[in-house]
Structure 1
Amino acid sequence: MKPRSSLVLAGLATLPFAAVLVAWLGIFNVAASTGHWPITNWFLHFAMRSSVRTYAFGITVPDLRKTGLLQPAAAHFDTGCAFCHGAPGMVPSPAALAMLPPPPYLVHKVGEWTDAQLFRIIRHGVRYTGMPAWPALERTDEIWGMVAFLRRLPSLDAEGYRRLVEEPSVRDRPSAFDAAIARCARCHGRDGIGRDEAVPVIAGQSSAYLIGSLRAYVEGKRPSGMMEVALSQTDASILDMLARYYAGQPLPAKPVGADPVSAARGREIAEQGLPGKSVPACLGCHGGSRKNPAYPKIVGQKRAYLEAQLRLFAESRRGGTDYAHIMTKVAGKLSEKDIEDVATYLTSIK
């Protein structure tokens, strides 16, 4: 028995060193994208809820109807919390939802906690999450104001929420549309030409294609962390206005010069396709006045953007409108040289 006991003790003694070795080797995957094991997820939530319940015990809850600061608490929530937790008429940011664990949508989750537990969470935050402690721990009056607001949150509709968090004159200046255009212009410019070679020309695209693309981003059918985050801050009711605005902008005046050999081969693909690969002519669908308005204009588009989108289609990583599946099949038959040549040609013509 004694030798066996010694072996057990020796084994236990080596465990800390083994753990350090595993950590040093980098074997343990800390990526948020992989999620937790189910048992890990259960244990972390179990530990969190148990901790909040224990530390909230004994907290005296004031009359929330008399706490005051409800409106400032609402404004603070809109500024510092809604990005992660959402609000009436506002879904959480896709960037926040990609956190591990993702922040809960509080409109639906507030009722799972007591007032004392909410106070505890707001005041001290939660470790191993993105939930911070209250910036001024001594301002318990502010924290109780936030608790009072959270209790009211589930009963608010989008308009009621906006009335509470914003003064009317501020809401009227600038308009939601102007604010949305300002966000779009950061990458696309107000002219829709795009401020980077990888950003598409959206000026002059049909409004049908643009609204279809915007909705695909919103619904997660066309993946893009950048576009999803930008649109999460945009009222869905103005997406049509944004599409019409950019559809009405003029196209670039001059095409870009191109390598003549590459452009010549690209022209064959664009106009005749690749019959041996069952690839149809690009301009059969994307050119001419009879094309489906839900198809984008690709003549005069940027080369870097066209190449990137064709590669995404070929790798089945590009969604979009209801016709995106057609391009997935077509692009999958193109070689890298095919993609470069056809993009070169389409960029060089008007």
Structure 2
Amino acid sequence: MIRLKYVVFGAIGLPVVLLLGAWIGFFNVGASSGHWKVTAWFLQLAMRSAVRTYALAVDAPKTLDRRGLPAAAGHFARGCAICHGAPGELRSPAVLRMLPQPPDLALTVGDWTDAQLFRIVRHGIRFTGMPAWPARDRDDEVWAMVAFLRELPKLDPNEFRALAFNGSGATTSSDQQPATPDVLSDCMRCHGGDGDGRGGAVPALAGQKEAYLLASLQAYAKGDRTSGFMALPVTGVDPADLAALARYFAAQPPVSADHDQVSAEVINKGQQIAEAGIPERNVPACSGCHLGSDKNPVYPRLNGQHAAYLERQLKLFRSEDRGGTPFWHIMATAAQRLTDDDIQAVSAYFSRRAEVPR
């Protein structure tokens, strides 16, 4: 029988021994060798158990929305493939020497549920180099990444490159483009060279007001408007290049958005909100700020914009998760008085409304 005093001595002595070992440098933190097998097993067990437990609180959708795939693929190609690889793209030898080594996601995503992938993408994993999602209030972007990860094992190199890089070439003169070609290329991953926006969840920029585009880019760069997809492209970009990007996309001819099947009743409801608002709920008419050439140039044009994008932005305004220009609070107040059906209707209406010539 173990005496109580030995238990007490052990409880006190073990932490002292561990602290002493750490102080004298006994524990090797060099990356030239890995953990002991038992340590690696324990850390892997702890990680998987933690992901599984915390994912229980995640409300995963029954069907993943695929409209954000182009943006997610573009983000993966720029920010994730360097460690995890991609179809047809080998990882660098330096990454292969990392401890722990980042997994080939095309081979491992099947080990996780959608909720677990969401947890990993949103919060990252400590001590592995896997960062949290740059925008903590953009769950829609995280779910887009989960949808892309589900597609990743099915993609061959050509399909991956088409999804991640398929932007048409620049179509305007060089004096309208940024001085740094890579800056425009990063935008074209998601918005296309014509500025039409790919996938429906990415906004159409073609023909948008230049002042609004510049204000939005500056808000992303300052962190006043959050987006994990936009965080990488705007980081460290010269202010002159931001202005050039705004000029470039504003100069592109507007392109008609793709339309989902929506009933005439929904469209008519959206038109009513756009033109007259909802007086009984103090919702102002959208036309008061967004229609007409005499409006504030920082207020965006909505005509022909993708309905899915408009829906997402209105819901972000409603939850006060979207900032941006100094006028964002006006939209937040209006959106908080809209139901999901109202938002769907007005978004569908503007996506079908013909662009008024400038």
TM bracket, shorter-chain basis: 0.5 to 0.7
Native 8 Å contact 1:222 1:319 kept in 2: yes
Summarize the alignment of residues 1-350 of structure 1 with structure 2, pairs less than 5 Å apart.
3-5=3-5, 8=8, 23=46, 26=49, 176-253=179-256, 256=259, 258-350=262-354
Deviation of the 1:234 alpha carbon: 2.6
The structure that has the greater radius of gyration is 1
Runs of 5+ consecutive residues of structure 1 not aligned to the other structure: 32-79, 81-97, 102-126, 131-173
Alignment deviations for residues 169-207 of structure 1 (CA, whole Å, 9 cap, x no partner): xxxxx9734322111111111111012210101111111
Aligned to 1:153: none
State the partner residue of 1:137: none
- Pair 1:27–1:213, CA change in 2 (3 A): same
Matched AA of 2:212: Y
Rate the CA distance shift 1:309–1:211 in 2: closer, same or farther, 3 A. same
Aligned to 2:162: none
The 3 A distance-change label for structure 1 pair 175 and 305 is closer
CA distance in 2, matches of 1:235, 1:333: 39
Instruction: Measure, in 1, the Cα distance between the counterparts of 2:14 and 2:340.
Output: 53
Paired amino acid for 1:200: P
Q: How many residues align?
A: 213
Q: Which amino acid aligns with 2:353?
A: I
List per-residue Cα deviations over 1:199-256 (Å, max 9, x = no partner). 1011111110000000000000000122121111532221111111111111115774
Task: Give per-residue Cα distances to partners, 1:93-123, cap 9 Å, x unaligned.
Answer: xxxxx9899xxxxxxxxxxxxxxxxxxxxxx
Change (3 A) 1:99 1:278: same
Tell me, in whole angstroms, the C-alpha distance in 1 between the residues paired with 2:220 and 2:48: 39
Q: Give 2:240's aligned amino acid.
A: S
C-alpha displacement at 1:299, in angstroms?
1.5
Preserved CA contact (<8 Å) 2:212 2:300:
yes
Identity %: 39
TM-score, structure 2 normalization: 0.52
Two-structure CA RMSD over aligned residues (Å): 3.8
Secondary structure in 2 matching 1:176: coil
Mark the CA change 1:274 to 1:7 in structure 2 (over 3 Å): closer, same or farther.
same
- The residue identity in structure 1 corresponding to 2:241 is I
TM-score (norm 1): 0.53
3-state secondary structure, aligned to 2:313: helix
> Unpaired segments of 5 or more residues in structure 2?
16-41, 55-93, 95-122, 131-176
